[in-house]
Amino acid sequence: LRSSPLDSYKRLRLTFGRDIKSAANRGLLGENFRASLDFLSVLTREPLISAVPGKDYFAFSDGKKFSRAVNADLFGDNIAEWIAFEKSIKSRKLLKAFGPDRLTRLIYSVAISFCCYIDLTSSGDQKTPGTFFEYLIAHMFAWRLNVNPTTRIQVLNLDMKTFLTTDFIFDLGNERPKFHLPVKTSTRERVIQVWAHQRVLDGVFGTGRFLGTPVILTETKTDKTRKIVTEICLPAQWRIYQMHIAQLKRIYYLDMPVTYEKLNRVFPPLHVKPFGEFFFEADALSV
């Protein structure tokens, strides 16, 4: 009897918050990946026309419905890769051998598998994939930093005493940085919110106290009639936000847009990287 990806998703909804970095959560994420791959294994892969240089995309289809675009080079449908990852986390040396690229591909595959499952079994549900992606990234971040996040912090400012609802905040302790982690399946023009939240944290608590490190799945958009995949990128606006709203420390992608890669190489640089890199530079960011 095959299990549905919704089984592990529902259990995550119930228990995720208890101990976000826990092996129990990682187990449920792995179960979800296995069940999603099972579901997708019997579907056809319809090629899409990629307008993105150097990237190929396809969509899963049951003959009637189509999933969102899947990056062919990043997607791996082998559960053995998850098992290999589970083994690699036993030591720093093993994780280093696993490496950032395999990690990016694996996390991309886990995320996009469940997204495609929802695309094909529901009508227009954007919330469930978004919530699952939050679970996945928040767990990975918490596991790496070995601290659980909060999602609201108290503001004490003269006569004001209020709670600020935030994205995930990881507090590494006194005189150490706090990470500010927004998690989005895609951003487009809504990305300005990420800089605005960073600005609020800088304003309330002081610049440099929170490291803004958003994690985004992809910026692809598929024209459903013509089957063309494009990436919606706003590099000039990003540079203006980084200069005039707040400074983000890193912007991590699972499916890294070609256009944003170039922002690493202009001055002042904006550091946009594949998410797998985080696991190897996290300590350097925290000093």
Residues that bind a copy of itself (CB under 8 A): 124, 155, 160, 162-165, 190, 192-193, 195-197, 199-200, 202-204, 236-237, 239-241, 243-245
C-beta of 182 vs 257, nearer to a copy of itself = 182
Least distance in angstroms from the C-beta of 238 to a copy of itself: 11
In terms of CB distance, is 90 or 265 closer to a copy of itself? 265
254 contact partners, CB below 8 Å, separation of at least 6: 74, 104, 107, 108, 111, 112, 215, 216, 217, 218, 274, 275
Instruction: Residue 7: name the closest of 31, 24, 23 by CA.
Output: 31
Residue 9 or 195 having the CB closest to a copy of itself: 195
Distance CA 268, CA 196 (A): 19
Shortest Å, Cβ 199 to a copy of itself: 5
Tell me, what DSSP letter sits at residue 169? E
Minimum gap (Å) between residue 254 Cβ and a copy of itself: 24
Q: Minimum CB separation from a copy of itself for residue 236, in Å?
A: 4
Picking from 130, 117, 142, 146, the residue whose alpha carbon sits closest to that of residue 213 is: 142
Cβ proximity to a copy of itself: between 241 and 279 the closer is 241
DSSP 243-279: HHT---S-EEESS--HHHHGGGGSSS---EEEGGGHH
Taking the complex as a whole, the smallest distance from the CB of residue 189 to a copy of itself amounts, in Å, to: 8
User: Among residues 84 and 192, whose Cβ is nearest to a copy of itself?
Assistant: 192
